Structure 1
Amino acid sequence: MSEEFWWKYCGFFYNAAKKSQFVSNVHNAYKKTLISLKLPQGAKALDAGCGSGSSTFPLAELGFEVLAVDFGASILNQAICLNKKKGPYKNIEFKLMNLGKKLPLENDSFDLITSQHCIMKIQKPDDTLKEFSRVLKPGGIALITTTPDSDTPFEWLKKYKKNRGWMKTIWDIRWLIVWYIPYIIFTKKSDRRNEHRWKEDEFIEHMEGAGFRALTVARIPYINVGYLIGVFEKKS
């Protein structure tokens, strides 16, 4: 089973991972960062790699006009179904779209782009970042999260256990384990090794190469493990 097949069709395990305390903290940090941007209601946002909508619905709640895109039909349908249960939000449009290709979107058309944990999976991330820059308005904001290169899963677990103890660690990550085991079984080792995991300075370098300047880049503040979160502005 290829990495592409995994992310297109295995939504069950993705949703299992979302139940973990760690992933919950990742999403909370994302929401807090969104609020801190203080962008006006009605601003246009592209949620690039929206998954089942966990990064999309906070945008809608804040009053953005949202285009939510993903290349997985199964996971996108989950987002559409969840949206129907939530009201639905009329300020969200869902579309199938492959972030690894030229985006079928106009230049300078969005005020904000969010992309959560997607860049590391794309074969040519720099091309995608340049596309993000192309479709953002001058001065527009990109809020990107990705996995840093510093920790293997076992190093990550060791740090987590040191701060939380074994019992709390197991409880916190029980759903993450449900996701990680089938991820290892069903995806190719070569695909996992090709993930783009950057240090903070490398993250900034790639974003600057695509036409952005860094406003803030930090680890998501949860026991010093997890994802990098960056806020970048498109250069005028």
Structure 2
Amino acid sequence: MLQHLITEDEDLRMVPIDPNQLANAVAGTRAELRAIPEGTDDAEARVLARWTGIGLMALGDHDDALVFLQQALDLATASGNTRAVIATELNLGDAYRYAGEAETAEMLYRRALEGARGQHPELVDFDLQHLGKHLMEQVHVAEFGFGEANLLLPQPRAPRRTPHGELHRLHRRRPLPSNAILHREAASRSTERSRRTAGRPLAPERASSSSASASAHAIRLRVWSPTPPPAPL
């Protein structure tokens, strides 16, 4: 509906291609949503609310985006459309992440992932990409989150063409590691790194960068392409 007006920036966050054009389009979807008599067409209202929220999120209007996306999620839940619930939970998670509420965002991503694995495995890749990008942005990614982000980010395989003509890669499914495994991996990496660098000074340019920034940048280089369009309903 509005996906042709939205792209991604260097941090893989949704931004408008043309802010004025997207703002006008969002105003149109809001007007269409207001014109629907309450309770007469919940399916159309859900779609309009979802895309209005996505458009507002790309424009940086996080507060209103949260309102519309929560409305879309409530309508999806009430209708029993589990596919729409999962897709909207991802969008709502993005809105909370963009607004700086990381804990709520992660809860929504993991809830959507659980639902996808149990009911809609074709949506698992979408969930893993959203959760992996969320982990990239967290400060703790340089510690135990680094291992989980690497496991969650899609691993490249042969490219394919989607029905919409956009190239994406097929991804291998990886199991979510437990917290105990993540902490053990982090401790092992830290010990090995200390052993290798003991007594050896860092190069000046490396000494000036934080380990968190370097690790986050290393993960970003693993991303083959921008996130696909929002998960289909």
TM-score under structure 2 normalisation?
A: 0.26
* Structure of higher RCO (CA pairs closer than 8 Å, 6+ residues apart): 1
Larger Rg: 2
TM-score under structure 1 normalisation?
A: 0.26
Greater percentage in helix: 2
